[in-house]
A and B are shown apart, each in its own frame.
Chain A
């Protein structure tokens, strides 16, 4: 007599220690579930960034609580604040020091577009020197907005096609 498997979860007793999936899906899932942010806190947005890491908002719920102040250990730069032209080359160098794959979130009006600083000293959007994946509006954005951006970034990571091919060709 054949008993149908009524369990919805994966049953190792029946199916063995094997999961069948695509390697792209696994790698993307791993990447998106353990984003290590590089906090590029340059102005008041950094305060909201810290709040996002605190217990009330708890960025750990999305697997991104391991803030690394070394670019070598980080894979998502969160540009939180006003980027001056004096700072811009340093920001680019820190971005260059991050290992691939890497992502950038432009947090707030200043990082996205220069914000209210229409002046000789301010870079008018960090996307002029680094490729930005997600922009967040707000001055400063609330922590929920940063979490929303993180979820959008994770969504973008999981939708990335050809991850294994990129790894092999690299």
Chain B
């Protein structure tokens, strides 16, 4: 990985700033990373793809910084140069916090299609000019975006995807019993018995409700 990180010889910041004066370097522990205004991202990706060999789109994803954070959402693109073997990361903040949008790059990489659908599904980022922006993991009609910070891990009560089956079984999407979880292993713990993932409190479960004060 270290050889990959070191590979790009050209000064990408200078390259980007020559075309996009608003581009700034972004603090990064691994690969070159840059912040850009959202509107300039497709042109910057095109520049990196066609003139600097970053031919492979590795990932399109998003970050929800916090419900209160402004800007709340950032969209992240990772590119790999299959000749120079180096990664580059572009990050752009969404202008709107309530209805975050980002430009689609399906016209640059067909593979962006499903990445953007996933980011739309789980984070609620609307990709403008996407050819088929449907949910990809959750079902059509699911009302939430589960990876947002204001969505509880246990979930929110919703009808089942199929109303006929929901009517037949009287089942619905219910918040999962967290049983004192989430279950997390403590990092840096050398005693494996102590590091075992466990609930911090097991006094409540599916049948006995969670105490009001914990």
Contacts and interface: CB of A to CB of B under 8 A. Distances in A.
Interface of A: 85-86, 88-90, 92-93, 114, 116-124, 128-130
A89 B151 contact: no
Given A85-B161, A88-B160, A118 B173 contact: no
Given A86-B138, A88-B171, A120 B146 contact: yes
A121 B162 CA distance: 15
B21 interface: no
Contacts of B156: 120
Interface of B: 137-139, 144, 146, 151-156, 160-162, 164-166, 168-169, 171, 173-179, 181-183, 206
Given A118-B178, A122-B176, A86 B153 contact: no
Contacts of B179: 118
Contact of B181 (A118, A124, A129): A118
Given A118-B153, A129-B171, 11 more contacts: A85-B139, A86-B138, A89-B160, A89-B164, A93-B165, A118-B178, A121-B138, A121-B146, A121-B155, A124-B174, A124-B206
Given A89-B160, A128-B171, A118 B177 contact: yes
A111 to B, nearest CB: 15
B180 to A, nearest CB: 10
A15 B160 CA distance: 60
